[in-house]
Amino acid sequence: MKTLNDSALFKMNPDYHDIITSIGRISLLNDKVPKNSLEAEFSVINRRFNYGTEKFVMSEYDKDNIVIINKDNLKLPKYLSVVGKPKGHNKEVAMIVNIADYTNSNGEIFPRTLFALLQNAFINLELYRGWNKYINNIKFITINSYLYSRVTTKIFDKLFSIDLNKSASDFVSFLFAKFFLINLCGKEDNELIDNIAYKSCFNGTSLTVIKNDEEELLMNLEDKSKTMYSDIFALFEALKKIPTLEKCNIRTFIENYIRMYGESTLLTLDYLPAFLSMLYSQVVSGNLNKEYMLEQVGKNNIDKSYVQFLSMLK
């Protein structure tokens, strides 16, 4: 399983060590928000919500496998509202949800936002427990590689109008879908992965042409010990070698990505639990991101991903 510490973007944060220290200081017992202090919010969730994840989320919360804290003095960025900590023995973990950025002065939180945060914790917990179940489900990784390709290439459409160049658009769509499969999901680079990534291409460019272009990029990488799928930075070094994208750089891309989808979405670029959390917050209208933009880009495919996720829950 790819963990948070495998995220190149997370490790590049200048406050990385302070964040790790802050996480270490969280106490599952002493920092936990009492359940009765959120009684009104949970009443709304129990009476009005009917999402497929609800019973699973609330069950894990009742078992203290999801723990809510409200600490505004933690050095946790907004994109890290959920973190894991060991719980007892046997490799058990609890997912901690910090609601500090989402509460008002009275400590109240909008019920949909609270549920979306708890759902994020549940997604993290599920992937921790059953990583292989999810990344080995072909339907699941296919729809999500497509969605990843859509939300990322949307930025290139905005910055470089790449959608007007059909072959370049297909090539970039393929590269991002394949990056999702290899980097976020940890899949091996093989013919099956190529075929899945190719499903994100819709302009008629043949897979043979795309593979030839990919091979050329790989040959031109300065660091031969890496592939363009090693991390997000290596991918962007390769992308700059595409004729229409010479001026692309990762900083501009990230700034526009966050501007388009919200400041809490940074880790979605190279951390699978964060990406799924972003998608499924849109399903439950959690207001954690700019969900109207996700809806425009992903359309009904986000619902398809959610339904596929539900189908694997026990």
pLDDT, average across residues 138-147: 98
- Rounded to whole angstroms, the Cα distance separating 234 from 228 reads 5
pLDDT, average across residues 133-142: 98
R_g over Cα of the chain: 20
Tell me how far CA of residue 168 lies from CA of 184, 205, 209, 214, in angstroms.
23, 9, 11, 12
| Predicted confidence (pLDDT) per residue in 7-17, tens digit | 999 999 999 99
Question: Alpha helices of 161-261 — where are they, by DSSP H?
Answer: 166-179, 191-198, 207-219, 232-239, 250-261
DSSP state of 312: T
Strand ranges inside 239-291, DSSP E: none
- Residue 82: how many other CB atoms lie within 10 Å: 24
94 backbone dihedrals φ, ψ, rounded to 5°: -115, 140
In this prediction, residue 1 carries a pLDDT of: 85
- Rounded to whole angstroms, the Cα distance separating 93 from 123 reads 13
In this prediction, residue 118 carries a pLDDT of: 98
**Biggest alpha carbon distance in the chain?**
60
Residue type (1 letter), 109: I
| 224, pLDDT greater than 70 | no
In this prediction, residue 314 carries a pLDDT of: 76
pLDDT-derived band of residue 280, with 50, 70 and 90 as boundaries? very high
Tell me how far CA of residue 162 lies from CA of 155, 156, 174, 208, in angstroms.
9, 6, 13, 20
- Rounded to whole angstroms, the Cα distance separating 39 from 185 reads 37
Strand ranges inside the chain, DSSP E: 66-69, 82-86, 93-98
Quote the mean pLDDT of the chain.
Answer: 94
Of 125, 139, 124, 141, nearest to 179 (Cα)?
Answer: 141
Whole-model pTM over 0.85: yes
Range scoring the smallest mean pLDDT among 76-90, 130-144, 262-276, 288-302 = 76-90
93 touches 84 (CB < 8 A): yes
DSSP state of 313: -
- Per the structure block, which two tokens stand in for 238? 């390769």
pLDDT, average across residues 275-286: 96
96 touches 67 (CB < 8 A): yes
DSSP β-bridge partners for residue 86: 93
| 249, pLDDT greater than 90 | yes
In this prediction, residue 234 carries a pLDDT of: 93
pLDDT, average across residues 191-197: 98
pLDDT-derived band of residue 247, with 50, 70 and 90 as boundaries? very high
